[in-house]
Structure 1
Amino acid sequence: MSKVIDAAVEALSAKLTNGFAGVAKFVIEGEGAIMVDSDGVRAGDEPADVTLTASSDVFEAMLAGNMNPTTAFMTGKLSVDGSMPMAMQLGAAIS
């Protein structure tokens, strides 16, 4: 598994301590994917209600609080496929 994915799983787990109501997938380009659901955060690539895709730099900046997920989406640095309300809920939880 990628060190980027390992670090992202750890960072997301710290932010989403109670899991997430739904199934979301973060795809970090060139690294892999992370699943977020009611069981928590883990590396994986499974079907999801919403898929968010970004580069590792953008993903890291969002987790660090240096980039707002909404801004990343509006500027084309983050793409969303699936449930937009769920993506907004997740974005609020990680920022």
Structure 2
Amino acid sequence: MSEVVKAAVAALSEKITGGIPGVAKFVIQDEGALIIDGTGVRAGDDEADVTLTADRETFEGILSGDVNPTAAFMQGKLAVDGDMGLAMQLGAVLS
């Protein structure tokens, strides 16, 4: 597991307490993936209801609050595959 994924798991664990209703996967290009579900956040590449894919810079910007997830999606910097409703719930938590 890359240091970027480890740091992302730690940061998201602070933001998302209690998990989410469903399974979301964040894929950080060239770094790895993490899973967010009802149990919390962990590194992994499991099947998910929604998969969000971004490069490291965009993902770190979303985590820090410098990049709005909806704006990143509209600009093509964040790809979403699957349950758009779950992605929007997750975006609201991260904003």
1:8 and 1:20 mapped to 2: Cα distance? 16
Q: Indicate the SS of the match to 1:17.
A: coil
Q: State the shift of 1:33 in Å.
A: 0.3
2:81 and 2:20 mapped to 1: Cα distance? 17
- In structure 1, stretches of 5+ residues that fail to align are none
- CA deviations over 1:60-79 (Å, ceiling 9, x no partner): 00010000000000000000
Q: State the shift of 1:47 in Å.
A: 0.4
Q: Indicate the SS of the match to 2:81.
A: strand
- In structure 2, stretches of 5+ residues that fail to align are none
Q: Between Structure 1 and Structure 2, how many residues are aligned?
A: 95
Give the corresponding residue for 1:52: 52
Give the corresponding residue for 2:13: 13
Identity %: 63
Q: TM-score, normalised by structure 2?
A: 0.99
Residue pairs, 1:28-67, within 5 angstroms: 28-67=28-67
1:91 and 1:14 mapped to 2: Cα distance? 15
Give the corresponding residue for 1:91: 91
Q: State the shift of 1:19 in Å.
A: 0.8
Q: State the shift of 1:18 in Å.
A: 1.2
Runs of 4+ in 1 over 6 A off after TM superposition: none
Give the corresponding residue for 1:2: 2
Q: TM-score, normalised by structure 1?
A: 0.99
One-letter identity of the residue aligned with 2:36? V
- CA deviations over 1:13-58 (Å, ceiling 9, x no partner): 0000111110000000000000000010000001000000000110
CA RMSD of aligned residues (A): 0.4
